[in-house]
Amino acid sequence: MTIYDSLKQKKARGEKSLAILIDPDKMRLKHLEQVIRLSVDAKVDYFFIGGSLIVNDMLDNVLSEIKKACDIPMVLFPGNSFQLSYKADALLFLSLISGRNAELLIGKHVITAPYLKMSPLEIISTGYILIDGGVNSTVQYMSNTSPIPNTKDDIAMCTAMAGEMLGLKLMYLDAGSGAKNPVSTSMIENVAGATQTPLIVGGGIRTAEKAYANVKAGADLIVVGNAIEKDPMLIKEMASAIHNQSKTNIPA
Ligand code: 1GP
């Protein structure tokens, strides 16, 4: 079964998923081993691999390490068109629909399409919606776009609706890595209520409580990066809160 089909099936069954975001530049291999081990134990659903800017050439190494150690699917979440590796299982083909930078809406896609067509990767078209996270994020700077203000639920909702009508298969609400303010539950509720595509939410999620609130509000897949890099022991409680959709599993 494809990763996209599994996401749709889980959505239909009301099951929620956790993806751990691994920035190949930031993660040391020793630390990676620990993150993989804890992720397998906690039944983490996906690894997302990517960063806004990758300076060191560690992408292939990181993918090989993960593949050697476990079966958790690896999804490329590319910050740019150079972040491509056939060692992954799938790629989020991101269109930055919150922005008005034609290159990131369609331009880069035209250039990469023939390479992706030849690749064994599962390509998942994704409406990437950047929300103001209260800090100037790397994505904001690199993409030269303005994020949607975090109180403007209606803009996020209409953007996701348009993305779905254009045929994008997933929506990703992202406050940006290291966001001070993660995406609000009211925005998640509004977007989830107006669209049928699986909904990914990430950026600045630091606690199991927030992850739980997000899935209750309608997010299907929660992405956590920074918080796990700082404290890999969080993986277990995040996964438990998301999979069980229960506050009782969140340690006090
Ligand atoms: C960023 O959604 C991801 O694109 C994850 O953000 O690193 O803040 O968890 P964090």
CATH code for the domain of 127: 3.20.20.390
Q: What is the pLDDT of residues 21-61, one digit of tens each?
A: 999 988 777 799 999 999 999 999 999 999 866 666 789 99
> What pLDDT is recorded for position 51?
80
Instruction: Reply yes or no on whether the pLDDT at 249 is more than 60.
Output: no
- The mean predicted confidence, pLDDT, of the chain is 94
Q: Say if 251 falls within a structural domain.
A: no
> What pLDDT is recorded for position 252?
46
Q: What is the pLDDT of residues 7-24, one digit of tens each?
A: 999 999 999 999 999 999
Q: What percent of the chain has pLDDT over 70?
A: 96
Q: Say if 252 falls within a structural domain.
A: no
How far from the centroid of its chain's Cα atoms is residue 123's Cα? 15
Instruction: Looking at the CA of residue 21, tell me the nearest atom of ligand 1.
Output: 5
Q: By residue range, what is the domain housing residue 28?
A: 3-245
Write the CA distances from 151 to 131, 132, 213, integer angstroms. 9, 9, 17
> What pLDDT is recorded for position 25?
83
Q: Which of 21, 130, 135 to mutate to test the pocket of ligand 1 (most atoms within 8 A of CB)?
A: 21
Q: Say if 181 falls within a structural domain.
A: yes
d(CA 18, CA 1): 18
Residues contacting 156, CB < 8 A, separation 6+: 98, 129, 131, 148, 173, 187, 190, 191
Helix, strand or coil, per DSSP, at residue 172: strand
Q: Say if 231 falls within a structural domain.
A: yes
Q: Say if 143 falls within a structural domain.
A: yes
Q: Say if 224 falls within a structural domain.
A: yes
Q: Which of 77, 172, 174, 199 to mutate to test the pocket of ligand 1 (most atoms within 8 A of CB)?
A: 174
> What pLDDT is recorded for position 247?
67
What spacing in Å lies between the alpha carbon of 106 and ligand 1's midpoint?
Answer: 23
Q: What is the pLDDT of residues 70-126, one digit of tens each?
A: 999 999 999 877 788 999 999 999 999 999 999 999 999 999 999 999 999 999 999
Model-level pTM greater than 0.85? yes
> What pLDDT is recorded for position 203?
97
Total of domains in the chain: 1
Here the tokens at position 230 are 């700082």
Q: Say if 250 falls within a structural domain.
A: no
In this prediction, residue 248 has a pLDDT band, given cuts at 50, 70 and 90, of low
d(CA 190, CA 58): 38
Q: What is the pLDDT of residues 136-172, one digit of tens each?
A: 888 889 999 999 999 999 999 999 999 999 999 999 9
